[in-house]
Structure 1
Amino acid sequence: MEPLLHVQNLKKSFKDKQALKGISFEVHRGEIMAILGPNGAGKSTTIRNIMGIMYPDSGTIQFNYNGKGIPKNKIGYLPEERGLYKNVKVMDILLYLADLKDYPIQQAKERVLYYLKKFDLEGKENVSVEELSKGMGQKVQFIGSIIHEPDLLILDEPFSGLDPVSQDIFKDEISQLAANGTAILLSSHQMNLVEEMCDRLFMIQNGQKVIYGTLDDVKKQYANYKCTISGKNSMEQMQTIPNVDRIEQNGDTIVLHLESDVNPPLWLQQLPEDLHISELKLNRISLHEIFIDIATDQHLMKKGEDEIYA
């Protein structure tokens, strides 16, 4: 995939606090890349620098276009803090947003009607924004971020406040946009959705890169498997099982975190025959668990030999 956006050694300070400490990454055409991190990590500052809302102290932000500067008519942005004019009709606000991006109005009108139907808002074009539910308003703002067919789409917590049906609609449309070549930078705290949708991850903490790579790379880096066993078993039984790094117990459910060099099929053969197993699940750790481990500085998970995070 071709890189559309290059961020190189980006630094930004506010008074005596350094919000960004030399971060670098790329976003490619046709991919969904997640930008992750706990609150205050520097995600919003990074996005605002890319958007040209603020400017870095040093470093470069380059787009794969002829000319210099930020091609704002090629960028779509869904901010975390939603904001549409309340007393304006849906069609009018969306056409206004398209006009700001120099997008042909007649073509924009056709796209508005198409997306209103697709997002189950057919017939709402002449309804004022203030009459819409929160979820409907979020759909309208999402349409506003893609109405001009952007090459780069930046989504900041796009699933916040959506019901499961609306989440699926958003997921399908975001995936389709990427399949059609749009470069997507997605910020979200919903790790299950990130894990389901994203091709690559860039995680920052305290303004610094901590993870950068594909989801598969990240999981291989944290090569740990975990085995979850439900049943009435004692901790003493579990402590006799070889190649276990640590054990967690919650009632009748015990989680065995395995050492990084374990061969899962062979390891399963070493489980005691007298274990009571009503349910057993063996899988890699989730992105949610990786996020929590890094964000809270627990360092419970062991990295492999090939470093993918600093």
Structure 2
Amino acid sequence: MLRLDGVSKSFGERQVLDRVSFSVAPGNLTGFVGGNGAGKTTTMRIILGVLGANTGAVTLDGRPLEARRRRRFGYMPEERGLYPKMRAAEQLAYLARLHGFDRGAANRRARALLERLGLEERADDALESLSLGNQQRVQIAAALVHDPEVLILDEPFSGLDPLAVEVVLGVLAEYADRGVPVLFSSHQLDLVERLCDELVIIAGGQIRATGTREQLRKQWGVRRHELASAVDVGWVRDVPGVRVVEFDRGNALFEAADEVAQQVLSLAVQRGPVLRFGPVVASLSEIFKDVVTDDVAPHQTEEVAA
């Protein structure tokens, strides 16, 4: 398990991380989400040892991370960092050899990864001749070419078309299925919601929430209910404890505690046929908005997964 405990970081007078604590379990795809400047990239760089923390610790399987173990990490930075004039396969093989693969194994691994990512026909093209989306796929392959024990990916889906996204999702899921902890950041909350086992939300350098989708919905999701009736439901606005979000004659979307929602249902049945009634599951985008704009002081959740 990859774990951060009380990690803080300042640049001069500006504190960018404040007692950040969370963990990424083996075999889990963990989404790391937050707005620009929230502290995601700084956190990832501290995990990788690129930056040092002012306080706190990063451990893997209960042991402090040393440079030797960090070399077994796969990292994809948000900024592309490959050599633009090298051919894709040549570049990946070069990186594999830096990690100790012999020439033959490095070449085989490079081409196998490019094939898996749908780039076998572009293997011998210079990186600068590829589209931005294909360059992104090569960058992902570079993070995987040495068969890493941990994956840290900063915005891996940026610039990918929907088909490429599905291919990359499949590759990451394969690594997770092998027991590799995978942490990635993304602004594409719909993808994070669909893909991730666990979520970590950061804002202002502090962890605001962690957990599974279901745990976050239970803790943060506003209780919304949908009512569809054969008669006008404008009266719902007058029920104490109800806030109507959307209304269109016989249809209402409203926020209310469960017991108040049941009162609304009883009143609706008395007034006419109820066509549809039930809770509306909060999306990750709605939960994210609630979490990062919450008035209460941010709180740390100690575990992402047991």
Same fold, TM-score > 0.5, yes or no:
yes
The code of the aligned residue for 1:185 comes to L
- The aligned residue for residue 303 of structure 1 is none
For 1:141-290, what aligned pairs fall within 5 Å after superposition?
141-222=139-220, 224-228=222-226, 236-240=234-238, 245-249=242-246, 254-260=252-258, 268=265, 270-272=267-269, 273-274=271-272, 282-290=279-287
Give the 5 Å matches for 1:80-95. 80-95=78-93
What is the match of residue 16 of structure 2?
Answer: 19
Aligned length: 296
- When residues 282 and 99 of structure 1 are mapped into structure 2, their CA distance, relative to the original with a 3 A threshold, is same
Q: Displaced runs of 4+ in structure 1, greater than 6 A?
A: 230-235, 250-253
CA contact (8 A) 2:76 2:152 kept: yes
Which residue of 2 is the match for residue 63 of structure 1?
60
Report how far residue 51 of structure 1 moved.
1.0
CA pair 284-90 structure 1, distance change in 2 beyond 3 A = same
Within 1, Cα distance between the matches of 2:73 and 2:273? 56
Q: Whose helix proportion is higher, 1 or 2? A: 2
TM-aligned CA deviation for residue 128 of structure 1:
0.6
1:296 deviation in Å?
3.1
Aligned to 2:28, which of 22, 28, 31?
31
Take 2:41 and 2:62, find their aligned partners in 1: how far apart are those partners? 24
Which residue in the other structure is 1:124 paired with? 122
Q: Percent identity?
A: 32
Letter in 1 for 2:46: N
Q: Is the 8 A contact 2:88 2:122 kept in 1?
A: yes
Q: Is the 8 A contact 1:241 1:270 kept in 2?
A: no
**Could you say what secondary structure the match of 1:40 adopts?**
coil
After superposition, the CA RMSD in angstroms is 3.0
Give secondary structure in 1 for the equivalent of 2:122: coil
Q: Contact 1:204–1:211 (CA<8 Å) still a contact in 2?
A: yes
Q: CA deviation at 1:151?
A: 1.0
Name the amino acid aligned to 1:45.
T
Residue 270 of structure 1: how far off its partner (Å): 4.8
Shift of the 66–202 alpha-carbon distance from structure 1 to 2, 3 Å rule, reads: closer
The Cα of 1:211 is off from its aligned counterpart by: 0.5
Q: Which amino acid aligns with 1:283?
A: V
CA contact (8 A) 1:79 1:156 kept: yes
Distance 1:257 1:153, change over 3 A: same
Tell me how far apart the structure 2 counterparts of residues 68 and 119 of structure 1 sit (CA, whole Å).
Answer: 30
Partners of 1:56 and 1:187 lie apart in 2 by 20
TM-score after normalising by structure 2:
0.85
Q: Kindly report which structure 2 residues correspond to 1:39-118, keeping only aligned pairs within 5 A, or say none.
A: 39-64=36-61, 69-70=66-67, 71-118=69-116
Q: Do the aligned partners of residues 101 and 239 (structure 1) sit closer, same or farther apart at CA in structure 2, a change above 3 Å counting?
A: same
Cα deviation, residue 268, structure 1: 4.7
Cα distance in 1 for partners of 2:14, 2:134 equals 38
* Contact map agreement 1:73 1:102 (CA 8 A) in 2: no
Q: Is residue 10–residue 24 contact of structure 1 (8 Å, CA) maintained in 2? A: yes
TM-score, length of structure 1 as denominator length: 0.84
* 1:186 Cα deviation from its structure 2 partner: 1.3
Shift of 1:77: 0.9
What is the CA-CA distance between 1:34 and the residue it aligns to? 1.6
**Residue 88 of structure 1: CA displacement?**
0.7
The one-letter code of the counterpart of 2:91 is I
- Aligned-pair CA distance for 1:153: 0.4
Q: How has the CA–CA distance of structure 1 residues 250 and 165 changed in structure 2, closer, same or farther, with 3 Å as cutoff?
A: farther
Query: Residues 230 and 106 (structure 1 numbering): CA distance in 2 closer, same or farther, change over 3 Å?
Result: farther
Q: Distance in 2 between matches of 1:65 and 1:73?
A: 18
